[in-house]
Amino acid sequence: MMDPKEMSNFIQSLTPVDVQKAYFGQPRKCMCGCSGTYSVNAVTGVDETYADNVNPAEVTRILRMIQAHEADAHVDDGYIVYADIGPASRKKAYCVYLDESRRVRDPKPVYANTESE
Ligand SMILES: [Zn+2]
């Protein structure tokens, strides 16, 4: 399990190419795409699910927002980095799903700051 310093180092080490897909939308709502938007750097392989969602600038924006608010971020399942960011009444969900190569070994959820919110 990562301590807060390791968590910070991990989040700050991420680059846009580490991101398989990124999500921006309404917090604590369905994440199928009905309450937000997925973005990808490119469509790779045979999976064309996100062919209409190629937006590298948005992927970078979402990652940089999470990095700028790392205290609000947590890591789920070793590869989903999630943060609700913004003023209390207008928070937005920012999430990046990392490439397999950046998956953290310990799959337990880790929280940078359990006192947030
Ligand atoms: Zn939905």
Q: What is the pLDDT of residues 4-17, one digit of tens each?
A: 888 899 999 999 99
Q: Give just the sign of the alpha carbon dihedral 105, 85, 25, 88.
A: positive
pLDDT tens digit sequence for 63-103:
999 999 999 999 988 899 999 999 999 999 999 999 988 88
Q: How confident is the model at residue 43 (pLDDT cuts 50, 70, 90)?
A: confident
Q: Report CA(67)–ligand 1 centroid distance (Å).
A: 26
Q: Report CA(22)–ligand 1 centroid distance (Å).
A: 16
Q: What is the pLDDT of residue 117?
A: 45
**In the predicted model, is pLDDT for residue 33 greater than 50?**
yes
Q: Report CA(9)–ligand 1 centroid distance (Å).
A: 33
Mean per-residue pLDDT of the chain:
88
Q: Give just the sign of the alpha carbon dihedral 36, 78, 16, 88.
A: positive
